A and B are shown apart, each in its own frame.
Chain A
């Protein structure tokens, strides 16, 4: 797992070594060492909480600059529905799509279209008898990584269909090659406009065991500012949008789940809430449900760390946009077998468990370490102040036993020592 390419990174110059990110990281992946934050790559799930929380803007997502797209002969933009929610007083998605063309893209393919197909196939998937229920959505890459790290029994519950972004990329490439047979595959550049760092990591590391069809990922915030300078209200854009209510609904929490047309669902958003739900499912204390939609960000994708608008206002914008749209504008072909899903929609590999918290491969050794941790923890003040550079006193005890820090780093213990000497 250590060769995993993360998109969340640190600007050491800007980091003051404060404890904001340390205390908020949901997987305890951050430590403050030598005066600045360090991210443990094995534990980081690219949720972006630290990017949002850092008062000094020292945490950032590594994404591609739009120039990276220049060498490609045919540039295709993949706008996700969360992009539409960023704009005030927008009454038609076509303004955004035209704006993207005016920014220099040759073609636009809406991710919402693929989302509607994924929704339709999810309905079929839920009709199967040989699946583990509840089925957990795999659209949010943070959730997939979290489950792979911490919830071994839930890996088989993850929906094995590719996320809408990937389906959109595949479809866009096929469509472009059909319309322009003279284009070579490597001349087509597919650019996803991402609301979050996790989607970037997804593209860089491959999705479902395969290289992503997305070539470039730009930040939604960057794209937003390019768009508002070219979007014009004076010219009515050609009507090209093919997204319905369902596709656009995917941008905010609950949109994916409600589109399944099945009451036995649950939708949770915000990483802490998500972890509680996953604990409950694993413990078997959930009521019988068919589908679980989980979003790491508050409010869903509109709450991503690289969005511009307040996620709740973005949701309101989306409600306005959805109002007079057909329920869905993208339909799957009829099939005699009402459980049929084409192979191309499936991930090549399913998600497997990669524990990130195990103390030692050898259980005997791990038990010895945990005994030492308990012993050290018993002497600590339990203030969880973070001054030692570890998020909690327990994590500190763990770090001491792992040899990553020393007991003397505890300021409370240090103060006691000084008092004794005085």
Chain B
């Protein structure tokens, strides 16, 4: 059997200041496992963007990271409003983030595009009002 490591993180939607902590955690773990720096960077950026999105748009959610020997799979699940038009959401610069978030420098419409850029595969399973499940893979 091929060993798979699983890490689970609750992403707190109430506390914006703690957004990004799961990304730091997974980075630490991948470092201990000796993954190449570039892989770690891509995972941590993709994860970070996903986390921020869950906090801004969905009131938090859950992140599961499955570490395989040759790839890392990130599954981000939330029960927020869902994405109405995925194609539109994937466009750089398109954002539905509220102004209060934008003043902090977030909401530039680069979240999903960056997740696509830094991962090797991105799958979005969503419907309006049904939450969102995003699966990303980063290969070593």
Contact = CB atoms under 8 A, between A and B. Distances in A.
B105 A283 contact: no
24 contacts: A152-B40, A279-B27, A282-B41, A282-B44, A283-B23, A283-B27, A285-B48, A287-B105, A355-B34, A357-B32, A358-B31, A358-B34, A359-B32, A359-B34, A363-B33, A363-B35, A364-B3, A364-B69, A366-B32, A366-B34, A367-B67, A367-B69, A368-B3, A370-B29
Contacts of B105: 287
Interface string B105-129: 1000000000000000000000000
B24 interface: yes
Given A283-B20, A283-B45, A370 B32 contact: yes
A105 B34 CA distance: 50
Given A283-B44, A285-B20, A367-B67, A355 B31 contact: yes
Nearest to B28: A357
Q: Which 10 A-B pairs have the closest CB atoms?
A: A152-B37, A358-B34, A366-B33, A367-B3, A359-B32, A357-B32, A367-B5, A363-B34, A366-B34, A153-B37
A169 B40 CA distance: 40
Chain A contact residues: over half helix, strand or loop, or mixed?
helix
Contacts of B28: 357
B48 A283 contact: yes
Interface centre among B3, B34, B35, B67 (most CB of A within 10 A): B34
A357 B31 contact: yes
A304 to B, nearest CB: 28
Contacts of B33: 358-359, 363, 366-367, 370
Contacts of B23: 283
A359 B33 CA distance: 6
Contacts of A285: 20, 48
Contacts of A358: 31-34
A152 B30 CA distance: 12
Given A358-B33, A363-B69, A370 B20 contact: no
Interface in B16-75: 20, 23-24, 27-29, 31-35, 37, 40-41, 44-45, 48, 67, 69
Nearest to B29: A370
A374 interface: yes
B47 to A, nearest CB: 9
A363 B31 CA distance: 11
A403 B51 CA distance: 36
Contacts of A287: 105
Contacts of A360: 34
Tier of interface size on chain A? 20 to 34
Chain B contact residues: over half helix, strand or loop, or mixed?
helix
Interface of A: 150, 152-153, 279, 282-285, 287, 353, 355, 357-361, 363-364, 366-368, 370-371, 374
Interface string B58-99: 000000000101000000000000000000000000000000
Given A283-B24, A363-B34, A363-B69, 16 more contacts: A279-B24, A282-B41, A282-B44, A285-B48, A358-B34, A359-B34, A360-B34, A361-B34, A363-B35, A366-B33, A367-B3, A367-B69, A370-B32, A370-B33, A371-B3, A374-B5
Contacts of A152: 37, 40
B40 to A, nearest CB: 8
Interface centre among A150, A153, A355, A363 (most CB of B within 10 A): A363
A150 B35 CA distance: 13
Nearest to B68: A367
Contacts of A370: 5, 29, 32-33
Contacts of A282: 27, 41, 44
Interface centre among B5, B20, B32 (most CB of A within 10 A): B32
A364 B68 CA distance: 9
A157 to B, nearest CB: 13
Nearest to A371: B5
Contacts of A366: 32-34
A303 B110 CA distance: 41
A401 to B, nearest CB: 11
Contacts of A368: 3
A150 B28 CA distance: 9
A358 to B, nearest CB: 4
A366 B67 CA distance: 11
A289 B5 CA distance: 37
